[in-house]
Amino acid sequence: RQTTQQVAYTVTAQRGKMAFYQGQKTNTLGYNGNYLGPVLQVNRGQTLKIKTQNHLTTTTSFHWHGLVLPGVDDGGPNQTVAAGQTKTVQFKIKQPAATLWFHPHAMGSTAKQVYQGLAGLIYVRDAASQKRHLPQTYGVNDFPVIIQDRQFTADHQLDYEQAYQADGTTGSTLLVNGTVNPYLNVTTKLVRLRLVNGSNARNYRLTLSNGQAMQQIATDGGLLPHPVAVKTVRLSPGERAEVVIDTARFKTGQSVTLQNGHQQVLALRTAKHLKTDGRLPATLTTLPKVSTANAQHQSLTFSGMGHMVAINHQTYQRNRINLTAQVKRPQVWTIRNTSGMMGGMIHPFHLHGVQFRILSINGATPPANQRGWKDTVALPPDGEVKIAFTFKDKGIYMYHCHNLEHEENGMMGQIKVS
Ligand code: C2O
Ligand code: CU
Ligand code: CU
């Protein structure tokens, strides 16, 4: 049931102060608040109109990560909003229900601004997914879980320059939705978590402390055909996964934690009596067959580490178009990671403006929980990933490593679609 054809939001990038630790105020950045930002909710078919305002003292941009849209509205590094300025964008939502996010993307300040707190969510909803009766009551049985790691200084500040690492800034403290030591009071038998890796550079391997499997229902760009039971959810920076957890299987009064290795991410505390609310249907959606007929092939090589990173031996230059493609023509991309030194590094490959499907990882069919719509995929060290997709719109789009320090070091390119 759509009530209006347009939904309008104002998103303001601003400075804030957060009490991450009692009695201590940390200087932060946030959208419409002190840290992180709102969840913009929109239905498929509606027009999303966003008035973006930069109340910072430095340039920023507003990038809509995962949205299928014309290049000109994408908010990449060439579409910045200067300090004190305002810019309104609008686009029609033409993709299935998904958990997307938004964050700054100005060259030279992306990593720092994200680290200090700039990121928000976009929930695309559609009638088909609503009908499945999945857990979908926000804050009751459907929760955003933005996972970030931060290095707090002794006086509890987020000092980006001090924390900086050329191969990705990481920190020893894990936050969920900007909370240190977070827990969730669970009141229903099924709980849906929309997991977002909003970290600059850390890769997560998420498990439940009781060894129970989670049912993965969605990837970056929408629902999977069927729930996939997974004991471990791997998320590289920028990736999302939605899982449904059967909390009725927890022992009464037991607190189960979502953890990364042995580090606690989120504690799930169950109530004595759990309500039945929401279902886990066997069928979630139907995905279109991947079309590769008459495809245009491109190959990309991600190489190097630290300040030496490159894609096809080039680093990002504002005025350079690295690749070209035809709109509406299938694309097949072979993406290699040759950064194999010292055990190697994952480069999370991300492409703007489209959702893609993974054809293979190191020559093999991807696991069932990676066969849905994706906009970010972990390139394994010394590995190769093949993807397929079609640009729906024209424009210039970025592709890059979503390790934000690698991106800032130039591991980014531009493709012109016409
Ligand atoms: Cu989430 Cu180009 O970024
Ligand atoms: Cu993006
Ligand atoms: Cu990288």
The 3-state DSSP class for residue 285 equals coil
Considering every ligand atom, which ligand is closest to the CA of 238? 1
Q: What is the pLDDT of residue 342?
A: 66
Give me the pLDDT at residue 344, please.
83
Residue 198 falls inside a structural domain = yes
Q: Which residues contact 367 (CB under 8 A, 6 or more apart)?
A: 228
Ligand 1 proximity of 65 Cβ (cutoff 6 Å): yes
User: Which of 287, 277, 275, 281 shows the shortest CA–CA distance to 136?
Assistant: 277
Same domain, 122 and 205: no
352 CB near ligand 1 (under 6 Å): yes
Looking at the domain assignment, is residue 147 inside a domain? yes
Residue 275 clears pLDDT 90, i.e. is over it: yes
Q: Work out the pLDDT band at 38, boundaries 50, 70, 90.
A: very high
Q: Same domain for 156 and 100? A: no
Number of domains observed in the structure of the chain: 3
Other Cβ atoms less than 10 A from the Cβ of 93: the count is: 23
pLDDT-derived band at 1 (thresholds 50, 70, 90) equals very low
Choosing from 94, 128, 162, the residue where a domain stops is: 128
Q: Is there a domain that residue 288 lies in?
A: no
**pLDDT score at 208:** 98
Same domain, 271 and 305: no
Q: Please check whether residue 223 lies inside any domain of the structure.
A: yes
Same domain, residue pair 305 and 359:
yes
- Which tokens is 189 given? 């038998």
- 26 and 112 share one domain: yes
- Tokens representing residue 304 in the block: 């190097």
Give the distance, in angstroms, between the CA of residue 51 and the centroid of all CA atoms in the same chain.
Answer: 22
pLDDT at 141 over 70: yes
**Residue 204 CB neighbour total at 10 angstroms:** 25
Residue 103 Cβ inside 6 Å of ligand 1? The answer reads yes
Query: Mind giving me the DSSP string for 332-381?
Result: EEEEEE---GGG---EEEEESS--BEEEEETTBPPPGGGSS-BSEEEE-T
- 213 lies in some domain: yes
Among residues 56, 158, 62, 67, the alpha carbon closest in space to that of 106 is found at 62
Look up the domain containing 223 and give its range.
142-275
Assign 341 a pLDDT band (cuts: 50, 70, 90): low
Count of beta carbons in the 10 Å neighbourhood of residue 39: 14
268 is a domain residue: yes
From the alpha carbon of 101, which atom of ligand 1 is closest? 1
CATH of the domain at 89: 2.60.40.420
In a domain, 1, yes or no: no
Residues 102 and 226 in one domain: no
Residue at which a domain ends, from 128, 158, 178: 128
Q: What is the pLDDT of residue 255?
A: 85
Return the residue whose CA atom lies nearest to atom 1 of ligand 1: 65
> 291 lies in a domain?
no
Please give the average per-residue pLDDT across 391-416, as a whole number: 98
Nearest ligand atom owner, CA of 110: 1
Q: 9 CB contacts (<8 Å, ≥6 apart)?
A: 38, 40, 48, 49, 50, 51
Q: Give the span between the Cα atoms of 56 and 110, in whole angstroms.
A: 13
3-class DSSP state of 277 = coil
pLDDT at residue 25, as a whole number: 96
pLDDT digits (tens, 9 = 90+) for 227-271: 999 999 999 999 999 999 999 999 877 789 999 999 999 999 999
Q: Are 261 and 365 part of one and the same domain? A: no
Residue range 68-118, pLDDT digits in tens: 999 999 999 999 999 999 999 999 999 999 999 999 999 999 999 999 999
